[in-house]
């Protein structure tokens, strides 16, 4: 065998192993959902059942936690999006001394372990007599999610053609009109994807939330407590539901992308 084809086979084997590693947990978890066993496992196989979906449906704590998670995620989106966009605008405008320092400060929440963000938020707000709960969870998550939003918006902003602003100015637009008619429409795609990412990040956050949640359990924290205390395959059912939603979203995204690609190439041919 030549070294070229050896390399090819090497790559293939590696990719196969890698994606098995990536997907086997999802497959096992999904399969375990249908196992009629008291424990979340696929072995021994005790027969096919759907009763864990039923158990999930009946789980009031889960619904409660899901509600909390949605509220928190919505709150984070509302608070963190303006902050992230503002910081990106700031960084794309300002030059000179001190910028690196401010940038480092803005990046620091991303390089700080989540538990520490949770702890420091908890301590800070205790001094103001605010204890853990949905509000504090929103605040703590915003601390670092705003930085993610900032990076995503900044990436798009860096490709912005600043003569567009001058052009609008020379046509008589006010600063506010430029912001609303030129800047925001340009940033819209980045803001939408940042909002989605913010929502997902918030939804799945555990480390930070754990410290500031108070008595308001989010879905992730609820799952963790289920997993740690009363092992039940209902958790698997929840996992399967999430996997299905994710895969459906991924397929929808891929289909949309392909359609757009096709539409684009059709446009170019015209």
Partner 1 sequence: MDSSVHLDQIVMRFGDFTAVSRTDLKIESGEFFSFLGPSGCGKTTILNMVSGFLSPTEGAIRIGGEDMRNVPANKRPTSMIFQNLALFPLMTVAENIEFGLEVRGVARSERKKVSDRLLNLVALPDSGKKKVAELSGGQKQRIAIARALAVEPRVLLLDEPLSALDLKLRQHMRTELKEIQRKTGITFIYITHDQGEALTMSDRVAVMSAGKLQQVADPMTLYRYPQTVFAASFVGENNKLTGKVSSVEDDRVSLDCGPLGQLTGTTRQSLKVGEEACLFVRPEYLRRCEADTPQSLRMTINELNFEGSFVMMDARLHANQQGVRVQLNTDAYMADLTPGAEVSFNYQPSEAIVVGGAHV
Partner 2 sequence: MFKQLCNRFGTPISVGIAALLLVWLIALVILPQLLMVDYSFRPNLLPSEIGGPKDSYSLVNYVTLFNNKIHLGIFFKTIWSSVMVTALTLVVSYPLAFYLAKVATPKQAALCLLLLIIPFWINEILRTFSWYIILAYNGPLNAMLQALGLIDRPLRFLSGNGGVMVGMVYAYILFMIFPLYNALESLDANQIRAARNLGASWAKTHLRIIIPHAKPGIATGCIMTFMLAAGSYAVPALLGSPGSRWFTQIIYNWFFEGGNWNQGAAYAFLLLILCIGFIGLVMKVFKVGLGDIAK
Binding site for partner 1 (CB under 8 A): 161, 163-164, 166-174, 177, 181-182, 185-186, 267
CA 232 to chain centre: 26
- Of these partners, partner 1, partner 2, none, which one is at the site of residue 116 (CB under 5 to 8 Å by kind)? partner 2
Nearest Cα neighbor of 219 from 60, 26, 63 is 63
- Of these partners, partner 2, partner 1, none, which one is at the site of residue 171 (CB under 5 to 8 Å by kind)? partner 1
- In the block, which residue shows the tokens 């158990």? 55
Distances (CA, A) of 179 to 89, 164, 185, 186, 209: 11, 11, 9, 10, 35
Is 149 within 8 Å of 193 (Cβ atoms)?
A: no
Cβ neighbour number for residue 33 with a 10 Å cutoff = 24
Q: By CB under 8 A, how many residues form the interface with partner 2?
A: 91
Q: Which is nearer to partner 2, 123 or 270 (CB)?
A: 123
* H helix count then E strand count, the chain: 12, 0
Q: Does 1 bind partner 2 (CB under 8 A)?
A: no
Q: Which is nearer to partner 2, 51 or 126 (CB)?
A: 126
Q: Does 139 bind partner 2 (CB under 8 A)?
A: yes
Q: Which is nearer to partner 1, 168 or 212 (CB)?
A: 168
Spatial distance between the Cα atoms of 165 and 228, rounded to a whole number of angstroms:
55
Query: Contacting partner 2 (CB under 8 A), which of 68, 121, 202, 217?
Result: 121
Q: Which is nearer to partner 2, 128 or 270 (CB)?
A: 128
Q: In the complex, what is the shortest distance from the CB of residue 100 to partner 2, in angstroms, rounded to a whole number? A: 7
């Amino acid at each position: 065998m030549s070294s070229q084809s050896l390399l090819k086979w090497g790559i293939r084997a590696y990719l196969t192993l890698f994606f098995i590693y990536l997907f086997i947990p999802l497959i096992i978890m999904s399969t375990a959902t249908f196992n009629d066993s008291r424990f979340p496992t696929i072995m021994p196989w005790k027969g096919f059942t759907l009763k864990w979906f039923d158990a999930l449906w009946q789980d009031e704590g889960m619904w409660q936690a899901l509600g909390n998670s949605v509220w928190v995620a919505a709150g984070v989106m509302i608070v963190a999006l303006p902050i992230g966009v503002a910081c990106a605008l700031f960084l794309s405008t300002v030059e000179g001394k001190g910028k690196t320092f401010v940038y480092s400060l803005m990046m620091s929440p991303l390089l700080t372990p989540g538990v520490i963000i949770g702890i420091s938020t908890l301590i800070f707000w205790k001094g103001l007599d605010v204890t853990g709960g949905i509000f504090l969870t929103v605040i703590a998550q915003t601390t670092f999610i705003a930085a993610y939003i900032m990076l995503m918006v900044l990436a798009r902003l860096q490709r912005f053609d600043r003569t567009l602003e001058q052009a609008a100015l020379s046509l008589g637009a006010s600063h506010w009109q430029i912001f609303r008619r030129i800047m925001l429409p340009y940033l819209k795609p980045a803001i939408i994807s940042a909002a989605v990412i913010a929502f997902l990040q918030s939804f799945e956050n555990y480390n930070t939330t754990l410290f500031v949640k108070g008595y308001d359990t989010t879905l992730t924290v609820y799952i963790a407590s289920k997993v740690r205390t009363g092992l039940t395959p209902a958790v698997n059912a929840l996992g399967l539901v999430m996997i299905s939603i994710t895969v459906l979203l991924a397929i929808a995204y891929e289909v949309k992308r392909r359609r757009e690609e096709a539409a684009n190439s059709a446009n170019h041919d015209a």
